[in-house]
């Protein structure tokens, strides 16, 4: 309580002293005397500061608030360089796009050429296969004609053995051979089939002669409807 009263009396005494001759008004008006400095003088009177500390505190100017420095604006040269770099990147992208389009066009042309070549090759191969098939058919027909002439001149017993062997290999060939012969020659050959197995084959031959048309037999060797397993 006494300390507070002493502080208040000290401040009043200082104010009374400074007010003499209007000095306090002058100091306050000029900004040389502030509340903070007045508090410092009172502290000196109370013995809280040394004289040097009081003088340093009273004369130390107020530190202005630190202001963050604004970033410097780019120079004209930097702006030109940035624009040039952006333009170069754009030109590079356009060139890359044109190169990619040109490569894709080359690939498309190469693919079309390859497809055309493949189609031509397949057509040529189909033509060659058809030609070979015709030649083979012609050879088979000539061979069949030769076989027909020879078998027709054989004795019925020998012709029977040939027909049986042909039936076991390709029944259609045996049927075709008999159909191409004269009916009288076919009859004499069938008369030689006397055993039960041969009789069964004779019935099969007669059945095929009835069912199979001349056009079907002319297509070449192979199985026909109802052919026995070789």
**Tokens 């297509």 map to which residue?**
219
Buried b (16+ CB within 10 A) or exposed e, 128-166: eeeeeeeeeeeeeeeebeebeeebeeeeeeebbebbbeb
Query: What gap in Å lies between CA 140 and CA 136, rounded to an integer?
Result: 6
Separation between Cα atoms, residue 17 and residue 24, nearest integer Å: 8
| Per-residue pLDDT, 162 | 92
pTM: 0.37
pLDDT confidence tier of residue 229, bands split at 50, 70 and 90:
very low
Q: How large is the average pLDDT for residues 36-63? A: 58
User: 159: which 2 tokens?
Assistant: 């012709």
DSSP 31: T
């Amino acid at each position: 309580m006494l300390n507070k009263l002493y502080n208040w009396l000290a401040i009043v005494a200082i104010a009374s002293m400074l007010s003499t001759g209007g000095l306090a008004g002058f100091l306050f008006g000029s900004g040389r005397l502030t509340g903070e400095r007045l508090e410092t003088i009172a502290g000196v009177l109370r013995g809280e500061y040394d004289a040097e500390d009081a003088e340093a505190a009273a004369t130390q100017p107020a530190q202005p608030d630190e202001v963050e420095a604004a970033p410097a604006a780019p120079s004209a040269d930097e702006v030109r360089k940035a624009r040039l770099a952006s333009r170069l990147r754009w030109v590079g992208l356009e060139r890359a796009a044109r190169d990619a389009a040109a490569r894709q066009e080359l690939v498309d042309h190469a693919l079309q050429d390859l497809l055309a070549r493949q189609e031509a090759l397949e057509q040529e191969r189909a033509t060659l296969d058809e030609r070979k098939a015709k030649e083979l058919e012609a050879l088979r027909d000539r061979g069949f004609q030769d076989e027909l002439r020879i078998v027709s001149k054989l004795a019925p017993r020998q012709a029977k053995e040939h027909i049986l062997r042909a039936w076991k290999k390709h029944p259609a060939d045996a049927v075709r051979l008999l159909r191409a012969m004269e009916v009288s020659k076919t009859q004499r050959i069938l008369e030689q089939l006397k055993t039960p197995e041969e009789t069964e084959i004779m019935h099969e031959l007669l059945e095929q002669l009835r069912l199979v048309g001349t056009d079907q037999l002319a297509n070449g060797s192979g199985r026909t409807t109802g052919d026995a397993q070789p």
